[in-house]
Amino acid sequence: MDILKRGGNAVDAAVATGFALGVLEANATGIGGGGFMIIKMADMKEAVIIDFRETAPAAAKPDMFKYGTDGKVIDSMNTVGGLSSGVPGEVAGLLYAFDNYGSKRITRSAMLEPSIQYAQNGYRVTENLSPIIRDNLAKINKYPATAAIYTDGGLPPEIGATIRNPDLAATLRLIARDGVDAIYKGAMAERIAKAVRDAGGILTAQDLANYKVQVRKPVVGTYRGYTIVSTPPASSGGAHIIQILNILENLDIAKMGIGTTATAHAWIETLRLAFADRGKYMADADFVKVPMAGLTNKNYAKELFGKIDMNKAMGSASASDPTKYESGSTTSFSVMDKAGNMVTVTKSINYFFGSGVVVPGAGFIMNNHMDDFVLKPGHIQSIEPGKRPLSSMTPTLVLDPNGQPFMTLGSPGATRIIAANAQVISNVIDHGMPIQEAILAPRLFAMASGQATMEGRVSINTFNGLKALGHDIMVRGDWDAYFGGVHAVLFDRSKKVLYGGADPRRDGQAAGF
């Protein structure tokens, strides 16, 4: 809020928030990670996507992870340790946005000062953070630099305890002074590379020097007259949010009702069809041909809708063929300012506490996003040097039927990001819910096959109705972080009021002035 009050714009505020979350939610995001940002300035015809996803190091190979006789990667090297780390893009991406789309009224030092103070003076262990530390204690304690920050002598800190990270404060001061060069060149680049290599990795200082932010065109679709603007590959989310909504557009979801058996059944079947296509067609479009026009085509969606039997569960779905229509996921937050500038950012170090490796003397955790590749050769999502792993991170904008700013939203939650964002959009457009109510509504999720999952607040009548249709359902907690944590801003043009929405499934809140 301080950035906006001092004359900064939505981009300034978003970048400042991004760096601050790298301190306050270091278990999920930070300098050692990457992500995506979608920006729609009031004077821009089209939104832009800032892609700062991690990339595979130059020495990476499709068969770099070895499997044991149990069929699992030996020593969990795909998720713990240096080999799991890709080249981080966060600092490059956030500063690219700040330099190119910021107001120029806020200096880099002023933008970073709140983050520096949080790191230097400390922050409280919340009721949400405490169990995350406890559940990841073995990973944290494997690396002394990590344990020194996030444990109390090897034990989980109590709720209410203070975590201080003066090394991270010093790193942020370097970024304030030197910009991207503070991380991607010189002594810090060497320090990062050494930390990763010492933990069994292959990242080099040259990999950091070679990292490039990609500025991409968004993927765009429509839903009941509203325009959906979201992320292209290597994010899979934008195309599949549009695909999901295109399929649902063949039904009168509003008439079917919120949380009914029919609506829940339609969502489960639609998600199965979309995720079947995701598994076959989605990858880094810089390396493979992704049939984006087909996946987002409304006629293709109508074909997929024809596979749904509203009286019987399909159980599992196989990929269809969108190519004949070709001619035609962590942390997330959203900012909208009084000028109508819209920004949503989703970024991550992947699993909680990433690779577990804190760069000694620098205070930040390295990602374990190499695990997002298919870890065997011969797949479109297999590892290649410089390739971005497929992501579900999906910052998304919604424009009203007149093409004016309406809503900006995003969520953490791995593959559940796609479903969470789509369900909130539908809750607002189909059911007319206020943004906070749309976020609070119970959620469900399904992949192409396997059990569907839903929150415990879904009614017993709906649960029994789905079982009668043949669905295999697992019920999770009433407010389960598994289903993401959507944060959003909605603009009511008739009242000229911005409404913020925050998700109680995760830490976070809405704020405005």
Q: What percent of the chain has pLDDT over 70?
A: 98
Residue 413, pLDDT score: 86
Higher-confidence position of 192 and 414: 192
The mean pLDDT of the chain is: 94
Q: Give the Å distances, CA to CA, from 335 to 101, 192, 221, 237, 410.
A: 14, 31, 22, 20, 11
If you count DSSP H runs as helices and E runs as strands, how many of each does the chain have, helices first? 19, 16
pLDDT at 183 over 50: yes
Residue 509, pLDDT score: 73
pLDDT at 328 over 80: no
Residue 177, phi then psi, degrees to nearest 5: -80, -45
Which sign, positive or negative, has the C-alpha torsion 187, 188, 189, 190?
Answer: positive
Residue 295, pLDDT score: 95
Q: Which two tokens stand for residue 226?
A: 């509203």
Overall average pLDDT of the 77-83 stretch: 97
Domains parsed from the chain with CATH numbers: 2-122+164-215+331-372 (no CATH), 237-281+292-325+411-501 (1.10.246.130)
Contact 355, 367 (CB under 8 A): yes
pLDDT at 326 over 80: no
Coil, helix or strand for 309? coil
Of the given ranges (168-177, 185-194, 225-234), which has the lowest mean pLDDT?
Answer: 225-234
pLDDT at 347 over 60: yes
Residue 512, pLDDT score: 63
Active site residues: 330
> Which residues fall within 8 angstroms of residue 130, CB to CB, at 6 or more apart?
156, 157, 158, 159
Residue 327, pLDDT score: 54
Contact 283, 390 (CB under 8 A): yes
Residue from 360, 413, 388, 381 nearest 29 by CA: 413
The CA distance from 47 to 49, in Å, is 7
pLDDT at 379 over 80: yes
416-429 and 237-248 helices, crossing angle to 10°: 40
pLDDT 10s digits, 433-461: 999 999 999 999 999 999 999 999 999 99
pLDDT 10s digits, 90-141: 999 999 999 999 999 999 999 999 999 999 999 999 998 999 999 999 999 9
pLDDT at 197 over 50: yes
pTM given for the model:
0.88
Of the given ranges (61-75, 276-290, 331-345, 439-453), which has the lowest mean pLDDT?
Answer: 331-345
Residue 320, pLDDT score: 93
Residue from 200, 181, 203 nearest 192 by CA: 203
Residue 75, pLDDT score: 94
Which sign, positive or negative, has the C-alpha torsion 423, 425, 427, 433?
Answer: positive
Amino acid 140 reads I
Residue 220, pLDDT score: 94
Residue 513, pLDDT score: 61
pLDDT at 253 over 50: yes
- Listed in order, strand segments (DSSP E) in 164-282 are 214-216, 219-223, 226-230
Residue 324, pLDDT score: 80
Confidence at 329, pLDDT banded by 50, 70, 90: very low
Token pair 């749904």: residue: 308
DSSP line for 368-416 = -GGGGSBSSTTSTTB--TTPPPPB----EEEE-TTS-EEEEEE--STTH
Give the angle subtended at the CA of 141 by the CAs of 137 and 144, to the nearest 5°: 150
Residue 240, phi then psi, degrees to nearest 5: -80, -25
Spacing of C-alpha 205 from chain mean position: 26
> Which residues fall within 8 angstroms of residue 237, CB to CB, at 6 or more apart?
230, 231, 329, 391, 392, 393, 394, 396, 417, 418, 421
Q: Which two tokens stand for residue 432?
A: 């007319």
Q: Which two tokens stand for residue 392?
A: 């579900």
Residue from 403, 102, 47 nearest 230 by CA: 47
Residue from 440, 376, 37, 446 nearest 218 by CA: 37
The CA distance from 497 to 157, in Å, is 41
The CA distance from 304 to 321, in Å, is 10
The CA distance from 50 to 191, in Å, is 26
10-24 and 108-121 helices, crossing angle to 10°: 20
